[in-house]
Amino acid sequence: MLVTRIVRLAGLILLGTCATVANASEDKIQISAQELRTICKPDAIKNDLDIQKFCRQHLNESIVSSVPPAGRSAMAATSAPMQKPPKAKLPTDDPCDKRLFVRADPLDNAFYAVLPTSAGNAKGASLSYTNKASAGTQSADINGIVSFVAFGSGPCGYGGGGTTTLWAIAPWVSSSGTWNEPVSKTENEALKGGVDLQVGLLAPTFFNSQHYFDLSPFDQTDFRGKAHAGGINLAYEPVIPFLYLGQSPGAIIPHLLNGYWELRAESEFRNVTSAGVTNLTVGNYEWFGGTIRGQLFLFYDPVPGSWEANSAIANRISLIGTYQDYGDARSSLEARKYSAEIQYKLSGCSMGQESDPKCQTSDQSSSSISFEYDWGTDKDTLVFTKQYLAKLSYKY
């Protein structure tokens, strides 16, 4: 690896010297397309900042020519100046521009303080709609959170510079529950807005782990605007790859199955001043508990040419299970909820396609359809739900 890097850097120095000489004689940088293709392969530049810098400069600013070197000076003297090609972007340039996230819930959200990942493995915000014309009723299930990184530090150009303590500030709005028309006596719905104040601690010497802490003040109402509650949520999420916690260190079954599980521990202090159409009561709640979610990805990175590599199934099918358990320290209230989901990706990229340039861009998004079963009580509304859903999801 060291020898390879030395050879690459020697090549860069040689090309830089040639470019300087060309500038002095022609006032243009002449680099062949073959030379750029050789040096600036995505796999070659992925972990080498020096090569990334060189490729950004020459893909964006140089004049790429397939004319043999011996004929370039004569062509420059007899021909009109060559025009610059359209500005090119490297896949590695893009992810750090990502600041907007569209996800299912806080656990589905990205860690703002570090390099944002694509939406390929997120659940995504979802919508389902039912219109029973014979009964004159309508309902819509709306679940999702939209957040925007306003300020932050980290390796994505927010000012990190390799530090192991990172931070981010991200306003957000979220929706969960079901809207009904006409209005039911009680409805399982919550519309919230707040700000995430996130700190990330990277511990490469401790099992290459990462630790994220969120403090989120919020305000809550319902879809009718009748309920009102405010509070603050504190959360902790660890990432320990060798335990498949928060990140997969490698395939569970090579080419066929991958996955990981997630853990979010929470404490929440909430004051309700109006219950609206929920089952909340006026007063204070002190919730302690958390959420566990497991995700399995089928036909992960299959062997080319195998039946699993069929484009209709490869990197498209996910199985997702979620369990939430909270208890109120001020009373005997408990809120437990289970969810099982099978998701089929309609577009976008999944785990196993990280080397594909289109999967490394900041605007990478995907849509999917899913079938879900929910059973239990939501702590935001205290309404018991048992339902089957067919949903359309979008993740960014």
pLDDT in tens, 84-100: 444 444 444 445 667 88
The reported pLDDT for the residue numbered 333 is 93
| pLDDT mean over 36-44 | 54
The reported pLDDT for the residue numbered 13 is 44
The reported pLDDT for the residue numbered 165 is 83
Q: Give all domains of the chain, ordered by start, each with its CATH number.
A: 2-91 (no CATH), 103-395 (2.40.128)
The reported pLDDT for the residue numbered 226 is 87
The reported pLDDT for the residue numbered 51 is 57
Q: pLDDT of 148-171, one tens digit each?
A: 988 887 655 444 445 578 888 999
Q: pLDDT of 306-342, one tens digit each?
A: 888 887 888 889 999 999 999 999 998 999 999 999 9
Please determine, for residue 172, whether its predicted confidence score (pLDDT) is greater than 70. Answer: yes
pLDDT-derived band at 366 (thresholds 50, 70, 90) equals confident
- Looking at 2-11, 103-112, 211-220, which range is the least confident one? 2-11
Please determine, for residue 368, whether its predicted confidence score (pLDDT) is greater than 70. Answer: yes
pLDDT-derived band at 52 (thresholds 50, 70, 90) equals low
Please determine, for residue 80, whether its predicted confidence score (pLDDT) is greater than 50. Answer: no
375 DSSP β-pair partners: 338, 386
The reported pLDDT for the residue numbered 135 is 61
* Mean predicted lDDT score pLDDT of the chain: 75
Please determine, for residue 268, whether its predicted confidence score (pLDDT) is greater than 80. Answer: yes
- Name the residue with higher pLDDT: 24 or 266: 266
Please determine, for residue 104, whether its predicted confidence score (pLDDT) is greater than 70. Answer: yes
- Name the residue with higher pLDDT: 66 or 309: 309
Q: pLDDT of 128-146, one tens digit each?
A: 877 766 666 777 788 999 9
